[in-house]
A and B are shown apart, each in its own frame.
Chain A
Amino acid sequence: MTATTPGGQARPVSSDGEVLRCEHITKNYGVVTALTDVNLRLGRGEVLGLIGDNGAGKSTLLKILCGFQPPTSGRIILEGQPIVLKSVDHARSLGIDAVYQDLALVNQLTVFQNMFLNREKVRWPLVRNQVMRKEAREHLDEMGVHIPSVNVPVAQLSGGQRQAVAVARSVFSDPKILLLDEPLAAMGVKEGAIILDLITRLKREGNVSIIIIAHNYAHVLEVCDRINLIQGGQITLDKRTDETSAEELTDLVVAEYRRALEERQRSA
């Protein structure tokens, strides 16, 4: 199927090379329309960059794809099968995991408790702290994330460390589809590099398909195979990374801004 978008020159993706597709997704919050007729596809092993201004609807789309909220209309097709995601747990059981923009960490709980939040290892009725501590430690070390102790409350971590913990948590369960909402926002250069390296490594291993929301075009162009631009709740550009550039993306966003400004002045 081809995403028919005004600015896009999308290529058809054969259905077996496609893990996730959404068709005609619309989302209203009361009178606010956050998404209108969004069509998006994610190829197997692909890294798709989703960019757009604040309020464009990126997080809204991600929260639909990870089962947090249902779309108002439209459907999601996972590996050729139309599905209705009933909950975050349901999406997870299908191999979809997400890092939310707000990270969904609980300040009062420790690093390891957060890494196993709602996926605690249990020997009923008790949680298995020793096992979780050990696995969390190993997993963070493996990822090259430096956290002094997995026993400290996440309240004590820096913004970058918190993001690293959230990202580490999302890849814990070997998801098939990973959704990342601005995972680099609060990160220093080194921490950001860890995440970018992780994405590159996951891509090389080829078992996971990724949608990454980001503001920094340099990062997006570095790690993504394809880029979708979302403006005012609609996807307005769908291009392979090697067919576009930071300049083109910037121009498009600026043009949109000018157009909106003119419209406002005309109506004023």
Chain B
Amino acid sequence: MSDTAERSIGKAGAPQGGAAGTGDTLMRVVRVLGRQREATVFIIAAALFLYFLIDQGSSFTAKSNQVTIWSDNVAPYAIIALGEVFLLICGEIDLSVGFVVGFAPYLMHYLIDFYAFPGLLAIFFALLVGVVVGAVNGFFTVTVRVPSFITTLGTGFILLGLINTTSHDQPAPIPASVLGIGKWISNYAWAPIIWAVVLTVLFHIVLTRTRWGLHTVSVGGNLLGAREAGIRVNRIKYGNFMITGLLGSLVGLQQMYYTNNITPTAGSYQWMFYAVTAAVIGGTAMLGGTGTIIGAFFGAVVLGILSDGFPLIGVSADLLSIIFGGAILVSMVANVQLTRLRERGQS
């Protein structure tokens, strides 16, 4: 069984002669691409990059444009995607995280300007609030057993309401006491993408090489079996919600420094939508038990380059949405196919 699989993979890697039928070759290519999902998304990202590089030249390569791509687009999607991948693997999703992005800077602002908190402590609480939101999401999902889709829809709305009522829909300047720390978080133009790359490597290791990662896969792959093996499945789910919330807070602070502003519109579904899209394009099936961190990162790169490059070549945002939608569907079909192939032992 594994013999055949290995042989067909080996063959498909080499250029195909005329002997095999086109359909056959195509199936093999699909299989290889499925197996090397991260590589596939990487190649797509690299191809897009090259395309815009050749087509647009210096307006694409200009430093300000590259910073927009990597730190403004890719980094926040990729960072939030880390949490979503862990959640999707264990069979859950967090729709609320985008509003943590919006709420965390406001909380910091209130604590400093209204309650005279020292800057660092306020930042600590801004990070903590994401963890708390994650714990609340975990409580309703795991303990009360409301599906996470509903739970996080609710907590997302609550956070949106909190942002809007407490801020009276008004933006606020960054408090002076935390301006200095900004350079570590994202004042330096490349800081967000450096954060994203470092966290991606870290989370990849956590997913593939630690008990937490293996148990996350187990919980998503076989919930009852994981419980029977003695894995504390609730703890895994709670933990992944809390990690996702924390990442939301981090992105919130990064966005604050990056835009040099605290604004109610920073909280939106957009972060979550792009992050989940990155995860799906990267090869994370929403079926539980499978997913890749590296894939999600390159998924975010694809989204980041497309969002930046298409306006450059004069493609409208509406068309971009259609392309994203198509990419999601194609990726999902590939994900489902891959899962089937795996189950039949052919990948």
Which A residues contact B (CB, under 8 angstroms)?
68, 87-89, 92, 100, 102-109, 113, 117-118, 120, 122, 125-127, 129, 148-149, 152-153, 155-156
How many whole Å from A237's CB to the nearest CB in chain B?
28
Partner of A127, one of B209, B218, B222: B209
- A104-B229, A106-B289 given; name 19 further pairs at CB < 8 Å: A68-B228, A87-B230, A89-B230, A92-B230, A102-B225, A104-B222, A104-B228, A105-B225, A106-B221, A106-B226, A107-B289, A107-B343, A108-B220, A108-B290, A108-B342, A118-B229, A118-B230, A153-B342, A155-B342
How many whole Å from B228's CB to the nearest CB in chain A?
4
| Chain B hits for A87, CB < 8 A | 230
* Chain B contacts with A in 212-269, Cβ cutoff 8 A: 214-215, 217-218, 220-222, 224-231
How many whole Å from B22's CB to the nearest CB in chain A?
28
Complex A-B, nearest 8 residue pairs according to Cβ-Cβ distance, in ascending order: A88-B230, A156-B345, A104-B225, A104-B228, A108-B289, A108-B221, A106-B221, A89-B230
Partner of B229, one of A88, A122, A153: A88
How many whole Å from A220's CB to the nearest CB in chain B?
24
Q: B215 contacts A118, CB within 8 Å?
A: yes
* Chain B contacts with A in 190-215, Cβ cutoff 8 A: 205, 209-211, 214-215
Residue of A nearest to B345 (CB): A156
Q: List 28 A-B contacts (CB under 8 A).
A: A68-B227, A68-B228, A88-B229, A92-B230, A100-B228, A104-B226, A106-B222, A107-B221, A107-B343, A108-B217, A108-B220, A108-B289, A108-B342, A109-B214, A109-B218, A113-B214, A117-B214, A117-B226, A117-B231, A118-B211, A118-B215, A118-B231, A120-B214, A125-B210, A127-B210, A148-B2, A152-B2, A152-B345
Q: How far apart sit A95 and B269, CA to CA, in the bound complex (Å)?
A: 50
Report how many residues on chain B are interfacial, defined by Cβ distance under 8 Å.
27
A-contact 0/1 string along B46-64, CB 8 Å cutoff = 0000000000000000000
For the residues of B in contact with A, the DSSP-based class is helix
How many whole Å from B131's CB to the nearest CB in chain A?
20
Q: How far apart sit A102 and B225, CA to CA, in the bound complex (Å)?
A: 8
How many whole Å from A84's CB to the nearest CB in chain B?
16
Q: Which of B209, B215, B218, B226 has the most CB of A within 10 A?
A: B218
Q: Is B1 interfacial (CB 8 A cutoff)?
A: yes
Partner of B222, one of A68, A92, A107: A107
Q: How far apart sit A149 and B345, CA to CA, in the bound complex (Å)?
A: 13
Q: How far apart sit A104 and B227, CA to CA, in the bound complex (Å)?
A: 8
